[in-house]
């Protein structure tokens, strides 16, 4: 049976969002300032992109660059940003919070996930900073998040492929009775970092994942105004993923 793959592209502007959609992206992660890993986009940007593109959009909720240990004031700001994102018609939210120990801040993450409901939450690459991936996976599952975006702590998803494969397997580790249909994954692992048209097939093969994330920063460093080239690179990436799907 042919397996369906999904391609998410991170963008930080209206024209890049439109270019990603034209290039064949299935979903957009909308941010401000991708040069620092992505921050919360403004209300104006959220509305403008929502009015321009038709594919699903997940909004980043990250109040500042740097670590993912947030003050009470920053946590309150994140809650307000979630309200703005839902008001502007986003299809999901991307967020993450850690404790000073770099473990998942389950209490705060769960509160944010509850604020986003019924929309899905992706726990972002704060996950890459945890000391124990297996324990962190179970913690994120318990928060109610739907996805984890990660390179498993490596510089690129391809370099972290072996560990990503372990996370994908652990996310699917649900026992079904004999003859019963396969149960859905407990959470979706989304490999990201350094994924391009030339590496996507290897990432698919080595991780066993079904959803993939790319910002193409290794091909077109941030910020870029070359939207035609960006669209072409997204199209190449989407075609490479589709080719593997058909194979």
The Cα 223–Cα 112 span in angstroms is: 30
| Residue 208, pLDDT above cutoff 90 | yes
- Taken in order 103, 113, 80, 11, the sign of the CA dihedral is positive
pTM for the whole structure: 0.93
- The pLDDT-based confidence of 178 (bands split at 50, 70, 90) is very low
> Residue 60: what pLDDT?
98
In percent, the amount of the chain with pLDDT more than 70 equals 94
* Collapsed DSSP state (helix, strand, coil) of residue 148: strand
Residues 145/122, Cβ–Cβ less than 8 Å: yes
| Res. 176 pLDDT band, cuts 50 70 90 | very low
Question: What does the pLDDT look like over 75-130, one tens digit per residue?
Answer: 999 999 999 999 999 999 999 999 999 999 999 999 999 999 999 999 999 999 99
Residues 186-215, mean pLDDT to the nearest whole number:
96
Q: Which of the four pLDDT bands, split at 50, 70 and 90, describes residue 3?
A: confident
Does pLDDT of 177 surpass 60? no
Q: Please say if the pLDDT value at position 154 is more than 60.
A: yes
Average pLDDT over residues 170-197: 78
Per the CB < 8 A criterion, the answer to whether 30 and 11 are in contact is yes
Domains of the chain: 6-173+186-246 (3.20.20.380)
pLDDT of 180 > 60? The answer is no
């Amino acid at each position: 049976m042919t397996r369906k793959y999904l391609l998410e592209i991170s963008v930080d502007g209206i024209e890049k969002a439109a270019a990603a959609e034209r290039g064949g992206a299935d979903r957009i992660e909308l941010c401000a300032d991708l040069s620092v890993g992505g921050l919360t986009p403004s209300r104006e940007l959220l509305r403008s992109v929502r009015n321009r593109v038709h594919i699903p959009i997940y909004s980043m909720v990250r109040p500042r660059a740097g670590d993912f240990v947030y003050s009470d004031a920053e946590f309150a700001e994140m809650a307000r940003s979630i309200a703005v994102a839902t008001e502007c018609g986003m299809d999901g939210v991307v967020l993450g919070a850690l404790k000073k120990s770099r473990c998942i801040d389950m209490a705060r993450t769960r509160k944010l996930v509850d604020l986003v409901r019924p929309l899905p939450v992706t726990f972002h690459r704060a996950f890459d900073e945890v000391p124990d991936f297996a324990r962190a996976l179970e913690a994120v599952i318990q928060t109610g998040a739907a996805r984890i975006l990660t390179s498993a702590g490596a510089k690129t998803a391809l370099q972290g492929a072996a560990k990503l494969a372990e996370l994908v397997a652990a996310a699917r580790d649900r026992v079904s009775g004999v003859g019963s249909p396969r149960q859905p994954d407990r959470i979706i692992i989304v490999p990201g970092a350094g994924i391009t048209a030339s590496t996507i097939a290897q990432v698919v093969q080595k991780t066993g994942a079904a959803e993939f994330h790319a910002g193409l920063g290794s091909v077109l460093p941030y910020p870029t105004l070359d939207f035609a080239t960006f669209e072409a690179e997204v199209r190449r990436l989407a075609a490479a993923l589709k080719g593997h799907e058909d194979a």
